[in-house]
Chain A
Amino acid sequence: MRGYSHAPPLFLPRPEIARNQPLTDFLDKRVVFVTGKGGVGKTTVAVALGLRAAAEGKRTIVCEVAAQENASRIFDHAEVGFHEVEMAENLWSISIDPDESMREYVLLQLKVRAMRDMLFRSRIFNYLAAATPGLKELVTIGKIWELAQLDRKVRSGRKYDLVIVDAPATGHGIGFLQTPRTFAAIARVGPIHSQAQQLDRLITDQEHTGVAIVALPEEMPVNESAALEHDLRTEVGVAVDRVYMNGLYPERFSSEEAERLAGVAGGENGSLRAAARAALSEHHRARSQRAQLARLRRRVEAPVRTLPFLFEPELGAEAARRLAGRLG
């Protein structure tokens, strides 16, 4: 049997305790997981981080999990599937399908072709692979690990400086990152035990692996981001490197201006009234968002960075590029 475990160790074993030390630049890591509650813009931030790293000359790949195709959508590109496809200069994208990862994993484990073919045709094998709790997540993280290797296991695999993962939403998020440890505990023997341990070391290796949480300036997403950071530290053993407060409205009007606009908003002229109300609405939201930003800063330990709300109908590659310039 040959497999991932025979690769020279890239990530040295480290104590599994989260440490919030000052970091080298976030994007100098090898793997960055982008996580957060559903609908907060994880993919957009992951792509923006990817574009930023690519612009700095790093060969970067953005990975989506569970066969999602949101990144290719941002680039208005055809679905990429389980292929490393170039989206922009220095930037690739892949959608990790767990079944494909499983297949690839087995291909790397078994060198006898006849045996492989028999295996893939076997209903029992497919059933077991689908039924084993956490195996899909495990092979997905295994693929992420493989992409981050300088000595790629996959023939003709490109070498990447940075692998960015658009991770599953909160709730599933911690479970996803916890999978290797859970698996190492269940499968106490065999190659998968040591491989799962190796993947756990990848996730908890603060020097090479980073975690970013994406939040929105609203009550619940702020609460959930704080809870997520806490759970990541206590249950997975990783410290969060950045929290991105996404979609922050600009402060276009001062309170004094808002008072003046209130007069127009109560007036007779329809179009003036509507424009003034939109301005008051913006003022109101911008202010309540600042209060949420302050709450977030009080409640999380990681540095908080803000990303502006973009007044655009759909967020495409151009919007992601602009956000990339605003990333801290």
Chain B
Amino acid sequence: MANVGDILEGKDICICAGSGGVGKTTTSAAIAVGMAARGLKVCVLTIDPAKRLADSLGLRELGNEARRVDPALFERHGIEMKGELWAMMLDAKATFDELVARQAPDEEARDRVLGNRIYQQISSALAGSQEYMAMEKLFELHTEGRFDLLVLDTPPTRNALDFLDAPRRLMQFIEGRSLRVFMRPTGLAAKVAGRGASVALSVFKRIVGFDLLADLAEFFNAFSGMVDGFQARAKRVNGLLADERTCFLVVCGPQGEPVDEAVYFHRKLVEAKLPFGGVIVNKVHYPAERLRGDGDDLVTKLAESLGDAELAGRVAENFADYQALAERDAKNIERLAAELRTRGVIRVPYLDEDVHDLAGLAEINRYLFASSEEREAIAAGRA
């Protein structure tokens, strides 16, 4: 069984994907720390509005520019930084603004777009813009070539698939080919296009209000000179995602639902011909020793050892509860490995302390980068 270091050997980009609440941010940070410790110059990007990555790296805040994390912080936790760790938090709106500025033929066109209310909505609120801008920033950093490895913590979506689908939806909107024809200021085209189209337009006008439609028309007019540039760039971004030096890691939890999501997401990755690297399962309950059929005997032995039958009963009951969760996790992970036809399932145990600081990251790292035997040994020792 591989570890994260092996999986990322020779890769430029690592994208951590998964549904919300499975520990993506922590995992991304831990991967970046581990690879930097191995001597690479690594940058980890997050777009989480809740600033979780900054918290977990012990930074007060992160901005739209990459910042180097002080290596001394890690030495205190027994991690020697042979390389460099950098981190940034993506500001989707600022990135979109930069992109517009780069693509605009002149300042006037740029200002028209930046000042448009529809644009302001899209760049900050439209579903998909955050995801697309994350990929855009990734592309920009990759092109600059300042880092050996980029680790992307994908936005918190309820469904991991939103991340893959978002850029396409955003580009469709920006392209808006069929629409732009009907929104020329003269309105003549609408007549030519037939009654269906003009009815659709007039009804839509009535439903959403005329102002909105005028804003949309203005948006497409302002944007019209940039569409080709955006398309060309989107194509290159997509090319980068599919490159063999890019690697998608699916992050999930051991319960049935996150495992189902991971299976589904993996299938979509394969369909989209995107490079899948492996799956990381967080918060796994490890069975230390199998004790089936040992129930009564265990209570007796515990009672002898503790000299307290009542306490022994509670310890045994608690142990049975833990074993049940461990068995569920094992079953789900087995299913996951079978569905993904991979042996690259990396399990991170459910630690006693919740992971939110550097000490926690260092602990997680031992599992992500340990060899298979080491991982099992550590787990058996601790559980």
Contact = CB atoms under 8 A, between A and B. Distances in A.
Given A133-B122, A223-B55, A274 B302 contact: no
Interface string A273-285: 1111111011011
Interface in B247-286: 253, 255-258
A38 to B, nearest CB: 2
Nearest to A231: B49
Contact of B302 (A106, A192, A272): A272
Interface stretch (B36-44, B72-80, B205-213): B205-213
Interface in A22-60: 37-40
Interface string B117-128: 110011001110
Q: Give the most central of B127, B206, B305, B318: most A CB within 10 Å.
A: B318
Nearest to A39: B21
A253 B301 contact: no
A128 interface: yes
A271 B294 contact: yes
A125 B48 contact: no
A122 B197 contact: yes
Contacts of B298: 271-272, 275
Given A171-B49, A311-B321, A68 B158 contact: yes
Contacts of A168: 158
B305 A267 contact: yes
Nearest to B354: A218
Contact of B289 (A124, A170, A220, A274): A274
Given A39-B22, A119-B203, A219 B383 contact: no
A39 B294 CA distance: 35
A26 B380 CA distance: 46
Contacts of A20: none
Contacts of B178: 123-124, 127
Given A37-B21, A39-B253, A284-B353, A187 B315 contact: no
A257 interface: yes
Interface string A113-141: 00100110111110111111111100000
Interface in B93-143: 117-118, 121-122, 125-127
A190 interface: yes
A37 B23 CA distance: 12
Contact of B318 (A1, A170, A252, A292): A252
Contacts of A123: 178
Contacts of A186: 117, 121, 211-212, 215
B306 interface: yes
Q: How large is the interface on B (under 10, 10 to 19, 20 to 34, 35 or more residues)?
A: 35 or more
Contact of B176 (A127, A218, A227, A273): A127
Q: Give the most central of A109, A190, A260, A261: most B CB within 10 Å.
A: A190
Contacts of B201: 124
Interface string A249-279: 0001100010011001001011111111111
A328 interface: no
Contacts of B306: 260-261, 264
Contacts of B289: 270-271, 274
A189 interface: yes
Given A37-B21, A40-B21, A274-B288, A170 B50 contact: yes
Contacts of A130: 169, 173
B318 A187 contact: no
A292 B321 CA distance: 23
B347 interface: no
Contacts of B203: 106, 110, 115, 119, 125
B50 A188 contact: no
Q: How large is the interface on A (under 10, 10 to 19, 20 to 34, 35 or more residues)?
A: 35 or more
Contacts of B121: 133-134, 182, 186
Contacts of A39: 19-22, 253, 258
A192 B50 contact: no
B145 interface: no
A248 interface: no
A208 B28 CA distance: 42
Interface string A157-177: 000000000001111100100
Q: Give the most central of A70, A135, A282: most B CB within 10 Å.
A: A282
Contacts of A128: 179, 200, 204, 208, 216
Interface stretch (B224-232, B234-242, B322-330, B337-345): B322-330
Interface string A187-212: 11111110000000000000000000
Contact of A193 (B52, B55, B209): B209
A200 to B, nearest CB: 15
B18 to A, nearest CB: 10
Nearest to A124: B200
B369 interface: no
B311 interface: yes
A135 B21 contact: no
Contact of B55 (A122, A220, A257, A288): A220
B204 A269 contact: no
Contacts of A38: 19-21, 156, 158
B59 interface: no
A301 interface: no
Contacts of B205: 190
A99 interface: no
A192 B179 contact: no
A187 B227 CA distance: 26
A133 B356 contact: no
A171 B156 contact: yes
A285 B321 CA distance: 14
A9 to B, nearest CB: 21
Contact of B211 (A175, A187, A267): A187
Interface string B287-314: 0110100100010011001101001001
A224 interface: yes
A75 to B, nearest CB: 14
Interface in B167-212: 169, 173, 176, 178-179, 182, 195-197, 199-201, 203-212
A298 B127 CA distance: 34
Given A171-B156, A189-B211, 19 more contacts: A39-B20, A40-B21, A73-B257, A122-B197, A124-B182, A125-B204, A133-B125, A135-B208, A171-B155, A175-B125, A186-B117, A186-B212, A187-B208, A188-B211, A190-B211, A253-B318, A264-B305, A279-B318, A281-B322
8 contacts: A68-B158, A127-B176, A130-B173, A172-B158, A189-B209, A279-B318, A288-B354, A311-B324
